[in-house]
Amino acid sequence: MSAVTPLGLKFDHISHGYDIGGSLLPVLENVSLNIAPGEFVALLGPSGCGKSTLLRLAAGLETPGKGQVLADTQPITAPGPDRILVFQEATLFPWRTVRGNVQAGPEARGELTGKTDRVDEALRLVGLENFGEAWPHQLSGGMAQRAAIARALVNDPRLLLLDEPLGKLDSLTRLNLQKDLIRLWQDRGFTAILVTHDVEEALLLADRVILFSPRPAQIVEELLVDRPHPRRRDDPALIALRGRLLARLGVLEDV
Amino acid sequence: MSDISERGQGHYASADVVPFQIWRGGLWAALSWGSASAVTWFLPDVIQWGATGGFAILTGVIALVFLALAFLVTPARNPGLVHYGPWFIVLGLWLLIWEVVTAKLGWLPKPFFSPPQGLLHVYLSDWDRLLLCIAYTGRLWGLGFFFGISVGFLAGIGLGWSKRFAYWGMPFLKLIGPVPASAWIPCAFFVFPTTFQASVFLVALASGIPVAILTASGISQVSRSYYDVARTLGAGNRWQVTKIAIPAALPNVFVGLFMGLYYSFAVLVVAEMLGAKFGLGWYLQFNTAYSAYANVYAGLLIMALLCAGLVRLLFVIRDRLLGWQKGIV
């Protein structure tokens, strides 16, 4: 698989809410955010603040109440395989083998013919080349999430939306998958947006960390993480940034 | 590869040195079947039954087969046969006791209880009519069941997938669903031009309704997130129905199929007893009227084997299609 042309994303004055029992619960309030093509951005904030909603809007699974989301210059109105969302749960289809899951995208779009070697390659990229015929219930949490990432990558996404994909994994698996994500991002060149609660993870992976307030979410701080990869968690620059973010988060939690 | 074949040879080599062993279960089975045979052959019947000699020969041959197997079979290599050994023994004993209390002593009231040779006589003398009845029953059941589950499955998909279809369809299903299919018998027999069509309708109704209800509930229970994944991968509606909704609902569909299968047997026999000219239900009814109880038992036995066989077949299909589920297979 060769590198892709990354997608630039623009959230333009987005306000969004959900109808809960007849009353509107505001989730996002006037959020504007530009993400450059090829950038790796982490969205950080208290849980339930609406970060995942931003990803759903970017994926096209929902349309914003106010404002618009632009992919390059085109408004996003529907889901598309160039913008793929990876969920916190691997959400593999349990009735399909790992291979069946990975090829679901090309198959659903009727593009599977002649692409089976790409499926193999996607499996190899995430280290699951020997598990193509396994059923999802036979996989560990980390392997399932790898399979979900392969299922996304096989479509050559220009934008990868990661909704806490490592949130439920044990710490060792998590470290390995963080390295893998950086490697894949560097190799393939897609734009990446990662939602996480984990300050350290955000600093290890992202070029830029966006900090959100509690619901309705607004951007309270942006940090550039201008350090080369591979990053070390004991890098003094990262430790300084971490202190700053944690202080900001602590303040937010007191509110 | 070479590793595996070497191990395979090693396995054979070690199996060859298993010492000669007698399958004891086979000996006992030969004894129980042999006694049934001997009692049938040597003791006089209280009244004349057909096929007494035939039954004695049949059980005798089976006893000889068990005797041969006892010496020819290595128990360690035939765990399946050894597992069922106690059943073979008890079956022989059952035949022996059955033979003694009916044909030889006449303890059980006569027209109602037939000795085993009575059943054998029915199979030997009435096999052509029985085959015809099996064919008639098979046709009625097959048409009704497959028509019913096809319509039920499609209706269930519609009800589970489309809100508008569910709005109009669900109240009907909820009203009609709980009514036993046999309650429709009076209407069905005058609404349809022939009793055969009415019977097909009743079997279809009995098997279709549980399939429709469980398919609909299965599809409406499918997790939203599967559809979200499919949509981000670029899947259209059709793919979401056939590749997400249906496979995800399949475990429920099979629950409906099993229920439908049992209901279809119940209605099938009632329908045949009421309106048919042939068929196993009719055969039971007809022979009861003539007090030919041996024929009734013979028919019941065939019915039991057919129904159990169909249930078994459905299990096999389910295990193949739902192999992905944890705990199945």
**Span B127-321 CATH architecture:** Orthogonal Bundle (1.10)
Do the beta carbons of residue A84 and residue A157 sit within 8 Å? Answer: yes
Residues of B in contact with A96 (CB under 8 A): 247, 324
How far is residue B81's CA from residue B66's CA, in Å, rounded to a whole number? Answer: 11
* Chain B residue whose CA is closest to A55: B232
Q: Distance (Å, rounded) from C-alpha B50 to C-alpha B116? A: 10
- Contact call for B232 and A79, based on CB within 8 A: yes
ipTM confidence: 0.88
Q: How confident is the model at residue B108 (pLDDT cuts 50, 70, 90)?
A: confident
Q: Specify the amino acid at residue A57.
A: L
pLDDT at B7: 44
Yes or no, beta carbons of A104 and B325 under 8 Å apart: no
How close does chain A come to B6, measured CA to CA in Å?
A: 25
Spatial CB neighbours of B91, under 8 Å, sequence gap ≥ 6: B32, B33
Q: Which of A71-80, A146-155, B8-17, B52-61 has the lowest mean pLDDT?
A: B8-17
Question: What is the tens place of the pLDDT at every residue in B64-83?
Answer: 999 999 999 888 888 888 89
Determine the residue type at A33: L
Per the listing, tokens 């505001």 go with A26
Q: Which of B307, B213, B207, B214 is closest to B260 using CA atoms?
A: B207
Asked if A93 lies within 8 A of B234 by C-beta distance, the reply is no
Angle at B249 between CA B246 and CA B255, to 5 degrees: 125
Sequence ranges of the domains in chain B? 18-125, 127-321
Tens-digit pLDDT profile for residues A119-167: 998 898 888 989 999 999 999 888 999 999 999 989 889 999 999 888 8
pLDDT tens-digit series, residues B13-40: 455 566 778 899 999 999 999 999 999 9
What does the pLDDT read at residue B9? 46
Quote the minimal CA–CA distance from A244 to chain B in Å: 36
Flag whether A230 is in a domain.
Answer: yes
- Which of A8-22, B77-91, B126-140 shows the lowest per-residue confidence on average (mean pLDDT)? A8-22
**Cβ atoms of B311 and B303 closer than 8 Å:** no
* Nearest CA-CA distance, residue A88 and chain B, Å: 11
CB contact under 8 A, A61 and B243: no
Interface probe, candidates A53, A63, A86, A93, chain B, greatest B C-beta count within 10 A: A93
Shortest distance between the Cα of B243 and any Cα of chain A, in A, equals: 9
> Which SS3 state, helix, strand or coil, does residue B57 take?
helix
A31 has a pLDDT exceeding 50 = yes
Point out the residue among B225, B324, B325 whose CB comes nearest to the CB of A91.
Answer: B225
Which CATH number is A51's domain given? 3.40.50.300
Report phi then psi at A76, rounded to 5: -85, 125
pLDDT digits (tens, 9 = 90+) for B147-200: 999 999 999 999 999 999 999 999 999 999 889 888 998 888 889 998 899 999
Where residue A177 falls among pLDDT bands split at 50, 70, 90? confident
Query: Distances in Å between the alpha carbon of A56 and those of A19, B228, B231, B247?
Result: 16, 9, 11, 25
User: Which residue numbers of B have CB closer than 8 Å to A's CBs?
Assistant: 225-226, 228-236, 239, 243-244, 247-248, 250, 323-326
Q: Do B233 and A80 touch (CB under 8 A)?
A: no
Confidence band, pLDDT 50/70/90 cuts, at residue A253: low
Give the number of domains in chain A: 1
Q: What is the pLDDT of residue A1?
A: 56
pLDDT exceeds cutoff 80 at A116: no
pLDDT tens digits along A49-59: 788 889 999 99
Can you give the residue range of the structural domain that contains A242? 9-96+158-254
Instruction: Return all residues near B82 (Cβ < 8 A) that are at least 6 apart.
Output: B23, B25, B75
Determine the residue of chain B that is closest to A94 in CA distance.
B324
Q: What's the pLDDT at B202? A: 93
Closest chain A residue to B248 measured between Cα atoms? A95
Q: How far is B198 from B205, CA to CA, in rounded Å?
A: 10
| Closest CA–CA distance from residue B171 to any residue of chain A (Å) | 25
Contacts by residues A196-201 (CB-CB < 8 Å, ≥ 24 positions apart): A196/A42, A196/A43, A196/A44, A196/A164, A196/A166, A196/A167, A197/A44, A197/A45, A197/A46, A197/A47, A197/A164, A197/A167, A198/A166, A198/A167, A199/A44, A199/A242, A199/A245, A199/A246, A199/A249, A200/A233, A200/A242, A201/A42, A201/A166, A201/A174
